[in-house]
Amino acid sequence: MQTLLKTFYDIILLRKGPEDLPSSVVLLAIAALLWCLTFGLAYIAFDWLDSTRLVIAASASMLAIAAYQFLLLITGRFARTLQTQTALIGCGSVISLVYIALLVLSGRFGQQVAIVFEIVAQLVSLWSVPVKGHIIGRAIDVHWYVGIGIAGAVFILQYLFTASFTSAQ
């Protein structure tokens, strides 16, 4: 488990790619469990996150996973599915855990310190786009910048999906 988390960390820092993960259903399941844990912790940590918003957020994540999977399919890289999805889900979960921790910590200090924590949390969250771009770029053998463009487009897709459900609330 420590090796898996270290590999996720190295991918997040752009030192490794999804090809550095074994192609394993078990590792994908572990990443999925980490993803579920992340959503559970967010649900517990934030009183504004009700069950409806949680389902919308999970659905937006599943939409992104499906979009990346479709991209692997149309580029002929379907054989890289397990490694790519493990990296996307695992790294996304680790980034989300750091984001949650920063937001929880921001409530423990005065307003000025809390603002710094919240800004850092947003920067951590934004870092997920280049990380996902790095992962998908390596998976489909395109330049990192193309991968960032793809990840940015998927991020916008997720945002529009989420906004279509939450704007009425």
C-beta separation of 138 from 18 below 8 A: yes
Sorting pLDDT into bands at 50, 70 and 90, what band is 1? confident
Amino acid at position 47, single letter: D
Nearest to 88 by CA among 113, 69, 116, 102: 69
Give the mean pLDDT of the chain: 93
The count of structural domains within the chain is 1
Mean pLDDT computed over 154-163: 95
- Assess if residue 85 is contained within a domain: yes
Long-range contacts, stretch 63-72, CB < 8 angstroms, 24+ apart: 63/157, 63/158, 63/161, 64/88, 64/154, 64/155, 64/157, 64/158, 65/89, 67/154, 67/157, 68/132, 68/136, 68/154, 71/136, 71/140, 71/150, 72/139, 72/140
State the virtual CA torsion across 27, 32, 33, 37 in degrees, nearest 10: 140
Report the alpha-carbon distance of residue 62 to residue 92 in Å, rounded: 12
- Assess if residue 14 is contained within a domain: no
Model pLDDT for residues 109-134, shown as the tens digit of each residue: 778 888 998 999 999 999 999 999 99
| Domain that includes residue 75, residue range | 24-166
Report the alpha-carbon distance of residue 90 to residue 110 in Å, rounded: 32
- Assess if residue 150 is contained within a domain: yes
pLDDT of amino acid 158: 95
- Assess if residue 107 is contained within a domain: yes
Model pLDDT for residues 40-83, shown as the tens digit of each residue: 999 898 888 888 888 999 999 999 999 999 999 999 999 999 99
- Assess if residue 16 is contained within a domain: no
Report the alpha-carbon distance of residue 75 to residue 153 in Å, rounded: 17
pLDDT of amino acid 47: 84
- Assess if residue 123 is contained within a domain: yes
Amino acid at position 69, single letter: Q
Token code pair at residue 67:
């979009």
Residue with tokens 């550095």: 20
Mean pLDDT computed over 8-35: 97
- Assess if residue 72 is contained within a domain: yes
- Assess if residue 8 is contained within a domain: no
